[in-house]
Amino acid sequence: MSTPLAAVVTGLGTSEVGRRLRRDPLELTAQACLAALSDAGLSSGDIDGVSTYPGPFHLTPGFTGAGVVDACDLLGITPRWHSGGSEVPGQLGSISNAVLAVSAGVADHVLCFRTVWESTAQLAEGRAAAVTSNVGFQPFRTWGVPFGATGVTSGALDAQRYFHQYGATREQLARIALNARCNAAANPLAVYRDPMTLDDYLAARIVSSPLCIYDCDPPVDGSIAIIVSNPAATGDSERPSVTIEAIGTGMGYRQAADIMWSQTSIGPGDVDVAEVYDGFSIYSWLWLEGLGFCKPGEAASFVEGGSRIALDGELPLATGGGQLSAGRLHGYLHVLEACTQLRGDGGDRQVYPRPEVAVASNGAVRFTGCLLLSC
- Closest CB to other proteins among residues 213, 232: 213
Going from the C-alpha of 158 to that of each of 14, 126, 258, 282, 286, the distances in angstroms are 32, 26, 21, 7, 9
CB of 64 to other proteins, least distance (A): 22
Chain residues 106-135 in contact with other proteins, contact rule CB under 8 A = 128, 131-132
248: number of CA atoms within 13 Å, CB side? 29
Nearer to other proteins, 178 or 211 (CB): 211
Dist. CA 286–CA 297, nearest whole Å: 9
User: Which C-beta is closer to other proteins: that of 148 or that of 353?
Assistant: 148
What whole-number distance in Å separates Cα of residue 32 and Cα of residue 37? 9
Q: How far is the CB of 133 from other proteins (least distance, A)?
A: 11
Q: Mark residues 159-198: x for contact with other proteins by CB under 8 A, - for none.
A: xxx--x----------------------------------
Secondary structure of residue 371 in the 3-state scheme: strand
In the complex with other proteins, the residue whose CB is nearer, 216 or 273, is 216
Torsion of CA 290, 97, 362, 208, to 10 degrees: -110
- Of 326, 286, 316, whose CA–CA distance to 193 is shortest? 326
- In whole angstroms, the minimum distance from the beta carbon of 123 to other proteins comes to 17
**Separation CA 81–CA 207 (nearest Å):** 42
Tell me the closest approach of the beta carbon of residue 139 to other proteins, in angstroms. 9
CB of 164 to other proteins, least distance (A): 4
Q: Which is nearer to other proteins, 111 or 282 (CB)?
A: 282
Instruction: State yes or no: residue 147 binds other proteins (CB under 8 A).
Output: yes
Site for other proteins in 199-238 (CB under 8 A): 205-211
Shortest Cβ 325–other proteins spacing (Å)? 21
Characterize 152-188 residue by residue with b for buried, 16 or more Cβ atoms within 10 angstroms of its Cβ, and e for exposed: bbbbbebbeebbeebebebebbbbbbbbbbbbbbbbe
CB nearer other proteins, residue 6 or residue 129: 129
By DSSP bridging, strand 221-229 and strand 109-117 are antiparallel
Nearer Cβ to other proteins, position 150 or 187?
Answer: 150
Which residue among 39, 70, 158, 221 contacts other proteins (CB under 8 A)?
158
Q: In what order do the strands lie in the sheet with 49-52?
A: 81-84, 49-52, 109-117, 221-229, 8-14, 242-248, 367-374, 357-364, 273-275
In the three-class reduction of DSSP (H, G, I as helix; E, B as strand; rest coil), residue 169 is classed as: coil
Q: Binding string, 72-111, against other proteins, x = CB under 8 A?
A: ----------------------------------------
Q: Which residues bind other proteins (CB under 8 A)?
A: 128, 131-132, 140, 143-150, 153, 156-161, 164, 205-211
